[in-house]
Structure 1
Amino acid sequence: MLELVKKNIHMNRWKGYATSQITLDDDFIVPDSMDDVDQMILSSGEITIDSVKNQTERVVVRGKLDFMILYRGAEGGLQTLSGSINFEEPINVPGLEERDIVQLAWELEDLNAGIINSRKLSVKAIVTLTVKVETSCDVNAAVDVDTGSASSDVPMVETLRRNLDVVSVALRHKDTFRIKDTTTLSGNKPNIDHILWTEMKLRSVATRPMDGKMMLDGELLVFVIYQGEGEGAPIQWIEESIPFSGELDVPDMTEDMVPVVTVHLIHKDIEAKPDSDGEMREMDADAVLELDMKLYREENMELLNDLYSTNRELTLQTGEACFDKILTKNMSKCKIVEKISLDQADRILQICHSEGAVKIDDTEIKEDGLHVEGVIEVRILYMTSDDSQPIQSAVEDIPFHYLIEAPGINDKTICQLNPGLEQLSAVMMGGGTIEVKSTISLDLLALQPVCQQIITNASEAPMDLNSLQKLPGIVGYIVQPEDSLWKIAKKFHTTIDTIIATNGLTDKSVKPGDRLILVKELS
């Protein structure tokens, strides 16, 4: 009795994606305890996603925009106003089922804070939400054949196998990593009266899977503006780079897995505190990173490609299974040097701080790889010679284009691109210009879908003796261009081993025009 030995193959398949762009718009009253607004200095925002609910044919995303605004009051001092705008957005995803796996990416495209009047501010933002959908399915594919014990009643089966390199999602895991650090003011800085503005940004974040754990390292950039202690004390700022490294326990992780990891700052807090002498000269930084980890495992599978019997009629049932294979895993570095001129460049005394964000505008697949276009949104904070407006800021978009080499890429390739900013600096040059230098990281995992015919079942029946007897017992044959030893052996009811032995071949390769003697098997 012939039985197929099958293997269950678990596959993750991309179903598609959907994008929604939402506009957030709200007005905020300045609290009575704060000064009238005279001039906007800085604004920043962060998107926090509270929930992603998968419903049939749509995804409902709930979240909020947390913003901060630094403004100059009517009396000349600086003050900070913060607030939130909640949102709920249904995103239609045709074909989405509740069992599908949904990934959400988001980007704050634009944030504008304006003055309606001295006691009322407007906040407008554009947020892009991108939903990517995967589905999982299982296929039973034949990997071998079991004919039982050898006897005259047992099918004499010849098998053709093929190797296939596939990749599947082996692990999904979310975890958090905490960073704590204390910064002490340098001797030339006055004590802290109160903190006006804080920023935390990640730089050069790298992850590496190990057996049972995920390694993590990078830098946390901290920028603080504070009011110095004492009457008439000037506004002060400090900038620190906090290196961090550590590991997260992930029991099922192995070193050979291929990671796709996104890292977000989900909590950040900076608090002034007294030093050992009781003076306000220290700041505690507390940050929590969330790591969304998806890890792939590559596997070489040997599947049954074809089979026939020399003493039975076999009927094969086939199906199609689609797998993914890794086309490329590429970490590219794009270096940018650009000179810009600001409206008040001639009055700039000193650049206090620069920070930026990478925004991808378009990706295009071409023969030589993935073409990426985008901008670095650079914000520069600087001191001016204007005593009435000593601190100013400017935002500039610096475009970039980069080619990520990916041999074999085509319009069916699934590209997972994770951009990051590794380095950014802004330096005053002569002639009122500022030179911006930056390094962008572009981490690409490209998966190539491969659809293969697989054997799902086989049935046997007695050999048709009349058809067998019509075949000549021995025949001379000239190899044709499309031939292989397997095709020849199957067609003439013999085996590859018999052909090799009869013709004195040294291997299984033949070429068009070769002459062979073929002897029919009589098993």
Structure 2
Amino acid sequence: MLELVKKNIHMNRWKGYATSQITLDDDFIVPDTMDDVEQIILSSGEIVIDSVKSQAERVVARGKLEFIILYRGAEGGLQTLPGSISFEEPVNVPGLEEKDFIQLQWDLEDLNAGLINSRKLSVKAIVTLQVKVETAYDVDAAVDVDTGVSSGDAPVVESLRRNVDVASIALRHKDTFRIKDTITLSGNKLNIDRILWSEMRLRGVTTRCMDGKMMLDGELPVFVIYQGEGENVPIQWVEQSIPFSGELDIPGASGDMVSSVMVHLIHKDVEAKPDSDGEMREIDVDAVLELDMKLYKEENMELLSDLYSTNRELTLQTGEARFDKILMKNMSKCKVAEKISPEQAEKILQICHSEGAVKIDETEVREDGLHVEGILEVRLLYLTSDDTQPILSAVENIPFHFLIEAPGINSDTVTQLNPGLEQLSAVMLGGGSVEVKATISLDLLALQPVFVQIIAGASEAPVDLNNLQRLPGIVGYIVQPDDSLWKIAKKFHTTIDTVMATNGLTDKTVKPGDRLILVKELS
């Protein structure tokens, strides 16, 4: 009696994605305790997602834009105005099911703070939400056949096997990593009266999966503008990059797993504090990173792809299964060097600070790899020669194009691209131009779908003697272009071993035009 030995394979695959763009627009009144607004110097914002829920065939994202505005008051001093705009956005995702896994990515495309009057500001922003959906499914595939060899009437079965490289998600894990440090002012800096502005970004973040843990390292550049102690003192600033490294416990992780990790800075805080002498010369830094991790496990499986018997008629129930294999996991570096001329560049005395953000506009699969188009958004903060406008900012967009070489990539390949910024510098060249140099990291995980014929079931019946008698007992045969030794042996009711022995073949490779003697086998 013939029985198939099956294996249940649990898989995940990309089901699709949907994008929605939100326009946020609101007006804000300057509190009575703050000065009138003369000029907006800087504005910055972060998207905070509070919840992501699926409802029928849509995903509802709730969150807020948290922003802060640095402005010059009518009396000449700098002040900061924080605020937030809440949103609730439904994103239609056709075919979404309750069992599906949802991943939400967001991007603050544009943030613009405008002056309506000295007591009223407008804040406008464009936010892009992208929902990516994965689905889980199970495949029962035959991996072996049990013919019941202990029985004297057992079928004689020839089997064709195929090795398939399969990558499935072994673990999904979210965790947080905290960074705490203290910045001490250098001797040439004034004591801190109050902090006016602070920025934190992530740079050069790398992760590495090991047995039972995820290793993490990178840099946290911190930039702070503060009002110094004393009357009529110039605005002060301090900039320092805090290196960090550590590990997160992930039970079940192993060093041979391939990881896809998204890292977000979800909390950041700075606070001035006195040093050991009681002077306000230290800044406590507190930041929290969120890591959204997927760990893929690669496995080589041997599946049955075809069966036949020389003493039975076999009827196979076949199907096609889709597996994903890891085509490549690669971190590429894109160098950017550009000369820019900011507005009012002739007034620049000194660049205080430069910051950048990488935004991907388009990815396209071509024969030579994945082509990436995007922009590097650079923001400069600088001192000017104009006493009425001592500090200004400018934003410049630098386009870039990069080719990630990926042999074997095609239109069916599923790509997961995480961009990052590793290095950025902005230097005055004179004549009102600024040279910007940057290194952009492009972390690519490419999954290649593989479609394989599998055997889901098989039934047997006595051999059809009439059909068997119609086949010649011995025949000469010329190999055709689409032939394989398996196809030939199956068609002429023999076995590969018999064909090789009869024709003196040393391997199973045949080519068109080869001449073979085929002998029908009767088991």
TM-score category (smaller protein): over 0.9
Mapped partners of 1:516, 1:413: distance in 2: 41
Taking the aligned partners of 1:494 and 1:395, their CA distance within structure 2 comes to: 75
Please state how far the C-alpha of 1:9 moved relative to its aligned partner: 1.3
The alpha carbon displacement at 1:477 in A equals 2.6
- For normalisation by structure 2, the TM-score amounts to 0.98
Comparing 328-337 with 136-145, greater Cα deviation is found at 328-337
Match in the other structure for 2:447 = 447
Residue 432 of structure 1 aligns to which amino acid in structure 2?
G
CA distance in 2, matches of 1:203, 1:150: 66
C-alpha separation between the residues in 2 aligned to 1:518 and 1:150?
30
- Structure 1 contact 72–78 (Cα < 8 Å) conserved: yes
Cα-to-partner distance string for 1:172-191 (whole Å, 9 max, x where unaligned) = 11000000001110011111
Tell me the distance in 2 between the aligned counterparts of 1:371 and 1:360. Answer: 11
Q: What does residue 89 of structure 1 align with?
A: 89
CA distance in 2, matches of 1:94, 1:471: 53
| SS in structure 2 at match of 1:53 | strand
Q: Name the aligned partner's letter for residue 91 of structure 2.
A: I
Q: Distance in 1 between the 2:351 and 2:513 partners?
A: 78
Q: Deviations over 1:51-73 (max 9, x none)?
A: 10012110000000000000001
**1:395-422 CA deviation, whole Å, 9 max, x = no partner?**
1111111111122222222111111111
Offset, 1:330: 2.2
SS at match of 2:468: helix
Is 2:357 aligned against 1:370? no
In structure 2, the partner of 1:50 is: 50
Report the AA paired with residue 252 of structure 2. Answer: D
| Alpha-carbon offset, residue 370 of structure 1 | 1.5
1:192·1:229 contact (CA, 8 Å) conserved in 2?
yes
- Matches of 1:234 and 1:130 in 2, distance apart? 44
User: What is the CA-CA distance between 1:197 and the residue it aligns to?
Assistant: 0.3
Quote the offset at 1:147 in angstroms. 1.0
Corresponding position of 1:403: 403
| Corresponding residue of 2:412 | 412
**What residue in structure 1 maps to residue 181 of structure 2?**
181
What are the ranges of 5 or more consecutive residues in structure 1 without an aligned counterpart?
none
Q: 1:367 to 1:511 in 2, by over 3 A?
A: closer
CA distance in 2, matches of 1:478, 1:347: 85
> Which residue number corresponds to residue 164 of structure 1?
164
The 3-state SS of whatever aligns with 1:466 is helix
SS of 1:429's equivalent in the other structure is strand
> Any gaps of 5 or more consecutive residues in structure 2?
none
Moved more, 107-116 or 462-471: 462-471
**What is the CA–CA distance in structure 2 between the aligned matches of 1:499 and 1:370, rounded to whole Å?**
46
1:328 Cα deviation from its structure 2 partner = 2.3
Partner residue of 2:217?
A: 217
- Asked if 1:495 corresponds to 2:495, the answer is yes
- Map residues 368-517 of structure 1 onto 2, 5 A cutoff: 368-517=368-517
| 1:11 corresponding residue in structure 2 | 11
For the 8 Å contact 1:112–1:125, the answer to whether it is kept is yes
Give the aligned residue type for 1:327.
L
Cα distance in structure 2, aligned partners of 1:202 and 1:160? 52
Structure 1 position 471, deviation (Å): 2.8
Counterpart of 2:149 in structure 1 is: 149
Question: 1-side partners of 2:503 and 2:485: how far apart?
Answer: 12
Give the number of equivalent residue pairs.
Answer: 523
The amino acid across from 1:76 in the alignment is G
- 1: CA distance, partners of 2:267 / 2:506: 68
Q: CA deviation at 1:84?
A: 0.8
Question: How far, CA to CA, are the matches of 2:477 and 2:357 in structure 1?
Answer: 69
Please list the CA deviations of residues 121-170 of structure 1 after superposition, one character each: whole Å capped at 9, or x if unmatched.
11110000001111110010111101123443111101010111121111
Distance 2:290 2:248 in 1: 11
Cα offset for 1:299?
1.5
Q: Which amino acid aligns with 2:79?
A: Q
The answer on whether the counterparts of 1:55 and 1:97 sit within 8 Å (CA) in structure 2 is: no
Q: Determine the C-alpha separation between the residues in 1 that align with 2:478 and 2:349.
A: 87
In structure 2, what residue type is equivalent to 1:128?
T
- Give the AA of the match of 1:83: G
Of the structure 1 ranges 399-408 and 468-477, higher mean CA displacement relative to structure 2 is found in 468-477
Q: Which residue number corresponds to residue 293 of structure 2?
A: 293
Equivalent residue number for residue 196 of structure 1? 196
Question: What is the letter of the counterpart of residue 188 of structure 2?
Answer: N
Identical residues among aligned pairs (%): 82
When structure 1 is superposed on structure 2, of 385-394 and 471-480 the one drifting more is 471-480
CA-to-aligned-CA distance 1:289-319 (integer Å, 9 cap, x gap): 0000112122111111111111111000011
d(CA) in 1 for partners of 2:176, 2:27: 34
TM-score (norm 1): 0.98
